[in-house]
Amino acid sequence: MHKTIPEANAFVDRLADLLRQSPPPARMVEIVLAPPFTALSSVAAAIRAHPFALSAQDLHWEEHGAFTGEVSASMLKDAGCRYVIVGHSERRQWFGETNAAVQKKSAAALRHGLRPILCIGETSDQRASGQAEQVLSVQLAEGLATVAKERAGEVVIAYEPVWAIGSGHPATPDQAREAHRHIRTRIRALWGQDAAEPVPILYGGSVTSDNIAELLATPEIDGALVGSACLDPLQFARILTIARAV
């Protein structure tokens, strides 16, 4: 819940300027911005001249109806979105979002040609009690239960250990590697080897310019879901510049 419409537009312009000043990328990196609902249409217009894609932060699974305050997949598509985040840890923690709700949201996104970015992750208590892999397995299985393997290539998974988010203490590369390997194994079990391999698995949780290179050097990590570090275009540009050079 950051940035008014003018602030979001200024962010896009500043980020684009900073990236133009950075060294030519050694590899292509897809950059997806997820502003609040109020700024979606404005940012969609602002990014037409820039190599950015647009994502919403959430959606409702129904097409329309008496759901005051909610936004549907068709509305997001109309606003210019290509992606939508589902099951973010804050939605689960503060708004009681369940795996069943995440499942319906993922299905709604795919029905309208949006790529769901499915967030999964364990709490510190769950990790301490040895339940991390079980939690990830259940969140994956239930969140993707209605997604056919033919649609696997349209799904993005984001591993965001709840204990790392905003803590300043990200998962170590070894911890992230272990979790990402488990997630890949579970996706293979769900959809089969061929369908599972192209699915990107991102890491999220205290990602900064100080740790992005080490994280992305881990073969199992395909990208990052950046939180507070992306609010400042200078910090975000540094992260992206490093990511494009790794």
Residues acting as catalytic residues = 88, 160
Instruction: Assign 236 to helix, strand or coil.
Output: helix
CA gap 38, 226 in Å, rounded: 20
Q: How distant is the alpha carbon of residue 11 from its chain centre?
A: 19
Handedness of CA 17, 19, 24, 30 (dihedral sign): negative
CA distance between the termini of the chain: 31
For tokens 């979002």, the residue is: 97
CA gap 39, 115 in Å, rounded: 19
For tokens 């973010």, the residue is: 88
Pick the closest to residue 191 from 228, 141, 136 (CA basis).
141
Crossing angle of helices 132-143 and 173-191, in 10° steps, is: 40
Burial 20-33 (b: 16+ CB within 10 A, else e): eeeeeeeeebebbb
Instruction: Assign 52 to helix, strand or coil.
Output: strand
Length of the chain: 246
CA gap 32, 2 in Å, rounded: 16
